[in-house]
Amino acid sequence: MKKLGKYSMGMGDRFGHQGYAQLKAIMEAAKNGVGITPVWNKSNREHMIIGTQPQDVRKEADAVTGAAGFTEPYFVDADHINLDTVERFIPASDFFTIDVASYIGKRADDSKIDTFLDRVKKYSGRIEIPGIKRTIRCSADQLWGIAENYLYAAGKAGEIYRKIEKSKGAGNFVTEVSMDEVATPQTPLELFFILLMLGEEKVPVQTIAPKFSGRFNKGVDYVGDPSQFAAEFEEDLMVIDHAIREFRLPSELKISIHSGSDKFALYPHIGSILKKHDKGVHLKTAGTTWLEEIIGLAEAGGEALDFAKSIYIQALEKTEELCAPYADVIDINVKMLPSAGLVRAWNSRKFASSLRHDQSNPDYNPNMRQLIHVAYKLAAQDMGHFFRLLDEHKEIVSQCVFDNMFTRHIKRIFL
Ligand SMILES: [Zn+2]
C-alpha cells in the first residue's frame, strides 16, 4: 500500500515553476532531522483557471525529484475532486482528496438511515474516547442529525473511492477525505461517526480533513481563538486514534489540515500537540508560491516590478470577479487596498514588504495579499511575459519560495 510518512506536506505550485524550490525546503528539513513527504496538490479550479492538466503536475514532480536525486516517496494530489471531476486526474495522480462537501446535508435513503441508527445505538448516551477527559454526550437526536447530514456524503466517498480503485488498483494511491469547504465545522463527535461511516463503506482513508472552528483564509493568518482550535485539534487526534481501532481503518490514518497556508497563530499549538501525542499530520498549504513569485519579481525591480504592479492594478479593477470563486476562503476589506496611483509610485522594498507575510513589518497588508492571491488568473492571461520574467529572475524568486516554505512554515511546526 502506498503510504505517506508520519509528516507530509501538500504544496501548491500553480504555474509549475517552483517545484524545485519547494523540494529544497523539504530536503532542508531532512537535513535538520525531520522527514516530510512532499505532495504536490492542484485543484480542478486551479487547473481550469490556468489551463493546465493534472499530467503537468506529475511531470513537474517527476522532473524536480529526479534532478535533485530525491529518492524518498512523493505524491501528486488530485485536490478536492468529486464524482464530476475525478476522471481526468486518475492517470497522473497517486493521492486523491475526495471532497464530500457538496454532498453533506443531502439525505440518504430511509432504509440506510435506519440501518445506521440501529448499528450505532450502542453509542447513544455517553461516549468514552481514551485521551479525552470531558464527557462527550451523544443523544438519539444527535445520532439522527449525524445520519441525516453525513451518511449520504460517506456513501459518495465510497463511490468515488471505488471508481478510482477500479482504474488504479487498491493500494496504489493514498486516499484522503475532505469536508473542510463547508459552512459548519465538524465536532469531534461528528468526526467519530464520519469515520465509522467511512469504515463501513470500506474506504481505506489515510488522511481526513475536517473543517475546524475559526476562519482559514487563504495566505493569511488564522481568524479565531487559537486555544479553542488547539483543544478541538487535540480531541480530533484522540478520536482518530480510537476510530482506527474501533472501525478497522488503516493504522496510518492521520489528520489533514487544509490550512490555506500561513496559519502562524496555530503552528506552535499544532507542533506541540503532535509532539505530545507522537502523531503525524498532513499539512496542506495553498498555492502561495504564486505570491512569492510576485514578491520576488517586485524585489527584482525594473520590468519585473512593473509587472507585479500591473497585476495588482488590474486586480483592483476586477476585485469582485476575482474574489467570487474564493468568497468562503478570503476576507478582503476593500477600503484597506492601496490605490493604483499610490502603488505606481512604490519602490521594490515597499511593494514586497506590503505583500510578504511578516506581521512585524508595518507595511504588511493582508488585504492586498489576499487580493493578489486570487489574481493569478491575470498572470495566466499574460503567461509568456510572466514566465520570461520568472526565468530571468529565477534565483531571487526561488529564494522567496524556499524561505517561505522552510522558515515560515516547516520550522514553525516541525523543527
Ligand atoms: Zn481544502
Distance from the alpha carbon of residue 2 to the mean position of ligand 1, in angstroms: 22
Ligand 1 center to 395 CA (angstroms) = 30
| Position 300 pLDDT exceeds 90 | yes
Task: For residue 74, report the distance from its CA to the centre of ligand 1, in Å.
Answer: 20
* Residues whose Cβ atom is located within 5 A of ion ligand 1: 180, 258
Among 16, 9, 21, 14, which residue's Cα sits nearest to residue 43?
14
Q: How far apart are CA 297 and CA 305, in angstroms?
A: 6
Mean of the per-residue pLDDT values of the chain: 97
**Residue whose entry in the numeric block shows the C-alpha cell 529544497:** 24
Question: How far away, in angstroms, is 124 Cα from ligand 1 center?
Answer: 31
Output the CA 348–ligand 1 centroid distance in Å. Answer: 33
Cell numbers given for 124: 447513544
Per-residue model confidence (pLDDT) at position 155: 98
pLDDT above 70 covers a percentage of the chain that reads: 100
Greatest distance between any 2 Cα atoms in the chain: 69
Question: In terms of DSSP H, where are the helices of 278-318?
Answer: 289-300, 302-317
> Distance of CA 207 to CAs 95, 257, 371, Å?
10, 9, 30
How far, in Å, is the centroid of ligand 1 from the Cα of 152?
20
How many angstroms is it from 123 CA to the middle of ligand 1? 30
In which band, very low, low, confident or very high, does the pLDDT at 328 lie, cut at 50, 70 and 90? confident
Question: What sign does the dihedral 9-10-13-16 (CA atoms) show?
Answer: positive
Nearest to 133 by CA among 54, 39, 235: 235
CA of 212 to the centre of ligand 1 (A): 11
Work out whether strand 254-258 and strand 281-284 pair parallel, antiparallel, or are unpaired.
Answer: parallel
At residue 1, the pLDDT reads: 83
Backbone angle region of 96, left / alpha / beta, with phi > 0 → left and psi within -120 to 50 → alpha: beta
Bridge partner list, 215: 223
- The Å distance, Cα 321 to ligand 1 centre, comes to 21
pLDDT at 112: 96
Residue 311 has pLDDT above 90, yes or no: yes
pLDDT at residue 52 in the model = 94
pLDDT, tens digit, 9 for 90 and up, residues 275-285: 999 999 999 99
Q: How far is the CA of 280 from the centre of ligand 1 (A)?
A: 18
Contact 45, 78 (CB under 8 A): no
Query: 81 CA distance to ligand 1 centroid (A)?
Result: 10
What DSSP line would sit under 158-220, residue for residue? HHHHHHHHHHH-TTSSEEEEE--SSSSPPPHHHHHHHHHHHHHTT---SEEEPPPSSB--TTS
What angle, 0 to 180 degrees and rounded to 10, lies between the N-to-C axes of helices 188-200 and 140-168? Answer: 50
Domains, the chain, in order of start with CATH, read 7-104+130-135+148-286 (3.20.20.70), 289-399 (no CATH)
pLDDT tens digit sequence for 329-354: 999 999 999 999 999 999 999 999 99
d(CA 48, CA 64): 23
- Render the burial of 111-137: b for 16+ CB within 10 Å, e for the rest: eebeebbeebeebeeebebeebeeebe
Question: Grid coordinates standing for 237?
Answer: 487526534
Distance 374 CA to ligand 1 centre (A): 15
Give phi and psi for 40, each to the nearest 5: -95, 115
Give the model confidence (pLDDT) of 146-191 as tens digits: 999 999 999 999 999 999 999 999 999 999 999 998 989 999 999 9
Terminal-residue alpha carbon distance, the chain: 28
Separation CA 161–CA 90 (nearest Å) = 11
* Cα(286) to centroid(ligand 1), Å: 9
Q: Is the pLDDT of residue 287 over 90?
A: no
CA 362 – ligand 1 centroid, Å: 30
Retrieve residue 37's grid coordinates.
513527504
Confidence of residue 135 (pLDDT cuts 50, 70, 90): confident
CA of 366 to the centre of ligand 1 (A): 20
Distance 163 CA to ligand 1 centre (A): 21
| Distance of alpha carbon 344 from alpha carbon 319, whole angstroms | 18
Mean pLDDT, to the nearest integer, of 46-65?
A: 96
| Model confidence, pTM | 0.96
